[in-house]
Structure 1
């Protein structure tokens, strides 16, 4: 699956706590997580040296998913079009 170089890079150059905190805040705002976000959670859980705070953030995300507050999506663009049309239109208006 992933080679040892990737694991070393993930451990040395990546702040897991900041990434999880950012993921939690973003997911709470937009009400979904993507496949990439799920991969981040999976890779984080495979680490040996997780802090209690990181476990709590993951548990909060999983609880929100179980309750239906956060959805799992494969494609962000389809989510913008179908689940949040008003936000998507505001983004289009700001770009134009």
Structure 2
């Protein structure tokens, strides 16, 4: 199995994108999956992921099947 390596700043970029678009894209979801598998995440990044997931469950963020959302 290949190790999963998250790009630096990826969680922050996903969070900013979701805040602007209120949508979680397919690419964002793959990024979150990679982040969850990354054992080097700090506590702040884990909390940011938790907030994104809670917002999605509460219906504040919608899931879209596009790779990216353009304004």
Which TM class, normalised by the smaller chain length? 0.7 to 0.9
1:63-74 correspondence runs (5 A) = 63-74=54-65
The answer to whether the aligner puts 1:24 opposite 2:15 as a matched pair is yes
In the superposition, the TM-score normalised over structure 1's length comes to 0.63
Structure with the bigger percentage of helix: 1
Taking the aligned partners of 1:20 and 1:34, their CA distance within structure 2 comes to 13
The structure having more radius of gyration, on CA atoms, is: 1
Q: Is the 8 A contact 2:18 2:24 kept in 1?
A: yes
Q: Count matched residues.
A: 71
RMSD: 2.2
Structure 2 residue runs without a partner (length 5+):
none
Deviation at 1:75, TM superposition (A): 2.1
Taking the aligned partners of 1:70 and 1:47, their CA distance within structure 2 comes to 24
Structure 1 residue runs without a partner (length 5+):
81-87, 89-96
Taking the aligned partners of 1:76 and 1:69, their CA distance within structure 2 comes to 19
The answer to whether the aligner puts 1:60 opposite 2:54 as a matched pair is no
